[in-house]
Amino acid sequence: MIITGKYPQLRLRRNRQHNWSRRLVRENTLSVNDLIQPIFLIEGKNKKVPVKSMPDISRYSVDSLTQIVDKCVSNKIPMIALFPFTNPKFKNNLGTESLNEDNLVCRAIQLVKKKYKNSIGIMCDVALDPYTSHGHDGILNNNEILNDETVNLLIKQSLLQAQMGCDVIAPSDMMDGRIGKIRKALDEKNFKNVQILSYAVKYASNFYGPFRDAVGSKKILKGDKKSYQMDYSNRLEALREVALDIKEGADMVMIKPGMPYLDIIRDIKENFKLPVMAYQVSGEYSIISYAIKKKLINEESIIEILNSFKRAGANAVVTYFANHVAKILK
């Protein structure tokens, strides 16, 4: 970058003197259009069950879902993301509850579509970890996650979610080749307008603990997920993952986690010029929430952090703060 001029003729502080001036020259702006609200689901009637490791976050039974979706619609949040806490009695090695048309996610999709029509988008997670008895995203056999066999199940899961009315299919499993096969299956079944948001860059991170609490996979997880999620030391590998998923038909890509990977968000945006989403994951959320409650940082830090995603190049952010931030931005 070439900077012309010099001090004292050039004083960069001039543009910072007044609020109106700072607003005029602001390079990035956060709005409700940048927010995606994740929602946890639970079996039962009239239930709202707090997630102990995530302050102010709860799981909702399907009949109580309107409590939070009403807020999202009122706040003009563009999209929600659904994640189920599956009853352990429905879990098995293959995660076949993911293919049950009466499962939590399917019932939730139908309720939201019936009541809210297209006033809000629905994003559905495609992975097996909420449904398996071992907590992994795929089929486990002799301590190996089977790639192609898992993809076959993910295709069926995607088609079921699309049939129920899901707008955005979001495979988060990190199996090789699944985007192309899911896209092909959706097109063949006349779901050509269903979007695919690929978790193209999902790291084997230490920040997922509270989420695994929320969906009930933490205590049952056998081993780790390092054989399919990315090594957090790698940068160039992320470019390869995204390039492959774009070629296979991804409409958008997700970087997960968020704040520790701002460099990756920037790399992806600059190299591919496509819609990039960031996931401010559960561990990030809980750390920030507890720090605010302990008065170690103030509430405006939420806005500052979300702005960092925008500055890095994210089009939108999946964040548990979405409804809270939307009220502030109003």
Place of tokens 């089977």: 146
Spatial contact of 153 and 98, defined as CB atoms under 8 Å apart:
yes
* Confidence at residue 140, expressed as pLDDT on a 0 to 100 scale: 97
Q: Pick 6 or 245 by higher pLDDT.
A: 245
Which residues are 121's β-sheet partners? 79
User: What CA–CA distance (Å, rounded) separates 192 from 187?
Assistant: 5
User: What CA–CA distance (Å, rounded) separates 84 from 87?
Assistant: 9
Neighbours of 291 (CB within 10 A): 13
Spatial contact of 321 and 30, defined as CB atoms under 8 Å apart:
no
CATH of region 30-329:
3.20.20.70
Tokens of 51: 């997630």
Per-residue confidence at 317, pLDDT binned at 50, 70, 90?
very high
- Residue 113 main-chain phi, psi, to 5 deg: -65, -40
Spatial contact of 317 and 278, defined as CB atoms under 8 Å apart:
yes
Express each pLDDT in 40-92 by its tens digit.
999 999 999 999 999 999 999 999 999 999 999 999 999 999 999 999 999 99
Out of 202, 225, 269, 310, the active site residue is: 202
Say yes or no to pLDDT of 286 above 90. Answer: yes
Q: What is the 8-class DSSP label of residue 173?
A: S
* Confidence at residue 295, expressed as pLDDT on a 0 to 100 scale: 98
Neighbours of 104 (CB within 10 A): 26
* Confidence at residue 258, expressed as pLDDT on a 0 to 100 scale: 98
* Beta strands 144-146 and 139-141, pairing class: antiparallel
Out of 181, 256, 269, 310, the active site residue is: 256
Q: Where are the domains of the chain?
A: 30-329
User: What CA–CA distance (Å, rounded) separates 302 from 158?
Assistant: 33
User: What CA–CA distance (Å, rounded) separates 141 from 162?
Assistant: 29
* Confidence at residue 3, expressed as pLDDT on a 0 to 100 scale: 74
* Confidence at residue 115, expressed as pLDDT on a 0 to 100 scale: 98
Express each pLDDT in 9-21 by its tens digit.
989 999 999 999 9
* DSSP states of 267-284: HHHHHH-S-EEEE--HHH
pTM score, two decimals?
Answer: 0.96
* Confidence at residue 2, expressed as pLDDT on a 0 to 100 scale: 77
Spatial contact of 305 and 276, defined as CB atoms under 8 Å apart:
no
Q: Is 140 helix (H, G, I), strand (E, B) or coil?
A: strand
Q: Determine whether 202 is an active site residue.
A: yes
Helices (H), the chain: 19-25, 66-74, 104-116, 147-164, 178-188, 209-215, 236-248, 262-272, 282-293, 300-312, 322-329
Which residues are 317's β-sheet partners? 35, 278
Average pLDDT along the chain: 97
Tokens of 50: 């707090």
Q: At what angle do helices 147-164 and 104-116 cross, to 10 degrees?
A: 30
Quick one: which H or E segment has residue 195? Answer: strand 195-202
Residues 6+ positions from 197 with CB-CB distance below 8 Å: 123, 168, 169, 170, 250, 251, 252, 253, 254, 277
Give the burial string for 152-191 (b: 16+ CB within 10 Å, else e): ebbbebbbbbbebbbbbbbbbbbbeebbbbbbebbeeeeb
User: What CA–CA distance (Å, rounded) separates 75 from 33?
Assistant: 10
